[in-house]
């Protein structure tokens, strides 16, 4: 059993170690993919449900998603998760895409049904469930500021906020041009949310953040040792809810600053968990994998 399989392995069940291990029927596709924590939570959930399937990591180079889907289908895979950088390519490679995934602009979960390859997005809904789980309040009832909204995670979370009919959304990013494209897309959703945009520094952003209930980091700032906090201390106040989509390290510079300020904080582990549980339920409707997955990630 390999820690990472490749497209070349998707030629026969023998290459995937059939007969030796449970048959590979689910996978997470990315490039690179060796670091993915997804098998760590999906495999125990499969085992607990008594499903005869193995969840593998599959390294797929950009451009090869349609081929990967075709080979997985031929080998009887149930579905897959898709991560960076494949979420757009996966959307294009599906026969049908759920409207909310289309609005989110990305597919992270795929189901190989007999009649069609169907695409879903559980990142946005998984984030909403994570916020309710961590802080005990529905995401749609909050006003939210997203720092580093220019990347894929920022786009998914901003879209989820608008789909939930949130009253007010603040977007902040190093390059403001990226926000203009995002704001245009959010406007096309036709919701009631008032969206404002700021660069990452300045008094206007500080005032806008102070006025929000929830602050979210969706950037990669905080992943690397020595990274600063994406926001300065004057953007935070006691009572703020602060969520970092990063979970490694568990306490990012933003969360450390928020803890010192008296905010309630949580990291991206709960988003990983909830998007995973929702994906599992797309493959196996009626199951409830959350508790097993949570224990496996702990």
Residue 175 C-beta: closest distance to ligand ATR, Å: 4
Quick one: tokens of 260? Answer: 């010192």
Nearest Cα to Cα of residue 107 among 57, 70, 69, 71 = 69
Catalytic residue chosen out of the listed positions 87, 224, 269, 294: 87
Strand partners, 264: 241
Residue 45 phi/psi, 5-degree rounding, is -70, -40
Instruction: Outline where the chain has alpha helix (H).
Output: 38-48, 65-74, 87-93, 99-104, 123-135, 152-163, 176-188, 203-210, 253-261, 269-283, 290-297
Instruction: Give residues 133-192 in contact with ligand ATR (rule: CB under 6 A).
Output: 148, 150-154, 173-175, 178
Residue 212 C-beta: closest distance to ligand ATR, Å: 18
Instruction: Give residues 38-97 in contact with ligand ATR (rule: CB under 6 A).
Output: 84
Give the nearer residue to ligand ATR in terms of CB position, either 39 or 150. 150
Asked if residues 16 and 23 have their Cβ atoms less than 8 Å apart, the reply is yes
Give the nearer residue to ligand ATR in terms of CB position, either 33 or 56. 33
Q: State the burial class of residue 146 (Cβ atoms within 10 Å of its Cβ: 0-12, 13-18, 19+).
A: buried
Site track 199-218 with ligand ATR (rule: CB under 6 A), x = hit = -x------------------
Note if 87 is an active site residue: yes
Q: Does 253 sit near ligand ATR (CB under 6 A)? A: no
Q: Which of 220, 232, 281, 287 binds ligand ATR (CB under 6 A)?
A: 220
Please give the positions annotated as active site: 87
The residues that touch ligand ATR, with contacts defined as CB under 6 A, are: 84, 148, 150-154, 173-175, 178, 200, 219-221
């Amino acid at each position: 059993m390999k820690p990472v399989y490749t497209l070349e392995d998707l030629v026969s069940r023998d290459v995937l170690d059939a007969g030796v291990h449970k048959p590979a029927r689910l996978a997470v596709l990315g490039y690179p993919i060796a670091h993915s924590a997804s098998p760590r939570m999906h495999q125990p959930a499969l085992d607990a449900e008594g499903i005869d399937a193995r969840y593998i990591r599959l390294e797929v180079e950009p451009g090869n998603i349609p081929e990967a889907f075709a080979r997985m289908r031929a080998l009887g895979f149930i579905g897959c998760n898709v991560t960076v950088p494949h979420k757009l390519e996966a959307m294009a490679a599906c026969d049908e895409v759920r409207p909310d995934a289309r609005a989110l602009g990305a597919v992270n979960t795929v189901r190989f049904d007999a009649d069609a390859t169907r695409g879903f997005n559980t990142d946005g809904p998984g984030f909403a469930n994570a916020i309710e789980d961590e802080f005990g309040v529905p995401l749609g009832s909050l006003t939210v500021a997203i720092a580093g909204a220019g990347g894929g995670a920022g786009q998914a979370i901003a879209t989820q906020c608008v789909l939930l009919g949130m009253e007010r959304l603040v977007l902040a990013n190093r390059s403001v041009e990226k926000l203009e494209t995002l704001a245009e897309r959010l406007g096309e959703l036709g919701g009631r949310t008032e969206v404002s945009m700021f660069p990452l520094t300045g008094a206007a952003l500080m005032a806008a953040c102070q006025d929000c209930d929830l602050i979210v980091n969706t950037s990669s700032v905080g992943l690397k040792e020595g990274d600063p906090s994406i926001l300065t201390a004057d953007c935070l106040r006691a009572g703020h809810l602060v969520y970092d989509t990063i979970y490694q390290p568990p306490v990012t510079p933003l969360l450390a600053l928020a803890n010192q300020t008296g905010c309630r904080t949580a990291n991206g582990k709960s988003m990983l968990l909830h998007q995973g549980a929702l994906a599992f339920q797309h493959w196996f409707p009626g199951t409830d994998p959350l508790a097993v997955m949570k224990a496996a990630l702990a």
